[in-house]
A = this chain, B = another copy of it.
Amino acid sequence: MDIRTPFEMRPGVPAYAAVRDVIRAEIMDGEISAGARLTTAFLVKRFGISQMPVREALQALEGEGLIRILPHKGATVLSLDSKRVGNIYDLRGAVEALLVRKCLPNITNAAMAELSEIHRVLKDAVDRGEPRTVFDLNTKFHSLIYRYAQNPEAEGVYDRYAKLLGTLRGRYGFSPFRMHQMVDEHDEILDALRRQDEAELDVLMRSHVEGAKLDLVSRIEIEEAAPPKTGTL
């Protein structure tokens, strides 16, 4: 592997963080493909740093679910195929349904007003066809709700895969259908929040996340069926 990004230390950025970010980007870009082995020795040479920061970078990436470190076998890159992304969405669906239910006793009127405002701006972004803005506002909408659940453990699970799924969304985008569906579902969620309808919120949030899952997974599956660059030559 060549050194595309000529690696240079920036002051204030620890080596392990810089290396972690470079490797993460390369995995997400598919430049390092699933199953590839990341050996410490190679990375030490490539980045010109010592073993400890390399090891910390790898441990961080394992924590993010991008690689797996097997004792005395080294690190291998995990796949982000449709199956795994589907699993992550299933997990998120369960957790988000919990979070939205648990926010009910705590959510304030002011928060509801803020949600409505986010929702309004999100609708505009959908109408103008700005998927990046849609993604950001969607994240904001959900995070705001979950903050009121007062369950940091569950929020942590939600956050854990946020960046990962966000990057995938950046690559695959939303279908126009999905963006409109999202708006409708947010409408229903807002309404159920106002009515404090716990059972309904549970159902709504699950199908909301299921909708997001289907949209992204189907796009990944299309690519899996017909790889963009490397064919099965």
Task: Indicate the size class of the contact surface on chain A.
Answer: 20 to 34
Comparing A23-31, A38-46, A83-91, A113-121, the segment that makes contact with chain B is A83-91
Of residues 86 through 101 on chain A, the ones whose CB sits less than 8 Å from some CB of chain B are 87-88, 90-91, 93-95, 97-98
* Binary per-residue interface labels of chain A (45-79) against chain B in the complex, 1 for a CB within 8 Å, 0 otherwise: 00000001000000100010100000000000000
CB nearest neighbor in B for A63: B63
Q: Is the interface of A mostly helix, strand, loop or mixed?
A: helix
Q: Once bound together, how far apart are the Cα atoms of A87 and B63, in whole Å?
A: 21
CB-CB nearest in chain B for A88 = B153
A183 at the B interface (CB under 8 A): no
In the complex the two chains form, is A90's CB within 8 Å of B151's CB? yes
Residues of B within 8 A of A150 (CB): 87
**CB of A208, distance to nearest CB on chain B (Å):** 15
| 8 Å CB contact of A90 from B65, B88, B91, B154 | B154
Other CB < 8 Å A-B pairs besides A52-B52, A87-B150, 12 of them?
A: A59-B59, A63-B63, A65-B153, A84-B153, A87-B152, A87-B154, A90-B154, A91-B151, A91-B154, A93-B98, A94-B95, A94-B98
